[in-house]
């Protein structure tokens, strides 16, 4: 694609352009200066302003933009974004899976506790009752 001669930005280079007077977006590893497009965007300027200063790829894809929308993007393209500066998705997925797995194992712990805690309380109640009875008798 027409990436030659274009600058390579980092996420923080792009993130400074995060206002209505100066608004850049990161979509699919590319930086777009959409300042002039804010008013024209059929989805409104607010969504674009909420997607600035970060990787907006997911927000953009979630909407399911038309191919007409995608071809409009070329007009606003200013350069590529260094992938190393972007939060990478693959590191998030295993993290989520790990939480899911540990949730599962703590699930069974909770089940055991749900069974043991009432038993312990019952045992304690019986013990207290037993001890106070003994005290009553002795006093
Ligand atoms: C350079 C970037 C963008 C361009 C050129 C663009 C262009 C467009 C166009 C042409 C439409 C009309 C519907 C279509 O043809 O798909 C649209 C709708 C919309 N866009 Fe974007 N858009 C951009 C970025 C974004 C981003 C980052 C978001 C989300 C944060 C967003 C959210 C929306 C929403 C919510 C609609 C309305 C959808 C509807 O009414 O069904 N757009 N956009």
pLDDT tens column, 22-69: 999 999 999 999 999 999 999 999 999 999 999 999 999 999 999 999
Q: Which tens digit of pLDDT belongs to each residue from 59-106?
A: 999 999 999 999 999 999 999 999 999 987 655 555 555 555 556 677
- pTM (global) more than 0.85: no
Which of 43, 45, 50 to mutate for ligand 1's pocket (most ligand atoms within 8 Å of CB)? Answer: 43
CA dihedral sign of residues 47, 44, 31, 1: positive
Residue found by looking up tokens 């939060």 in the block: 87
The CB of 43 under 6 Å from ligand 1? The reply is yes
The CB of 23 under 6 Å from ligand 1? The reply is no
Q: How far apart are CA 19 and CA 139, in angstroms?
A: 80
The CB of 25 under 6 Å from ligand 1? The reply is yes
């Amino acid at each position: 694609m027409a990436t030659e001669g274009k600058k390579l930005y980092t996420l923080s280079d792009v993130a400074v352009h995060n206002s209505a007077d100066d608004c850049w977006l990161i979509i699919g590893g590319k930086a777009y200066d959409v300042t002039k497009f804010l008013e024209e965007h059929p989805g409104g300027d607010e969504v674009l302003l909420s997607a600035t200063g970060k990787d907006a790829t997911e927000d953009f894809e979630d909407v399911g933009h038309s191919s007409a929308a995608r071809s409009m993007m070329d007009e606003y393209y200013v350069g590529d974004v260094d992938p190393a500066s972007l939060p990478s998705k693959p590191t998030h997925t295993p993290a989520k899976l790990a939480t899911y797995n540990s949730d599962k194992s703590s699930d069974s712990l909770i089940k055991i506790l749900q069974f043991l805690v009432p038993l312990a309380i019952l045992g304690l109640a019986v013990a207290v009752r037993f001890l106070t009875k003994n005290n009553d008798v002795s006093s």
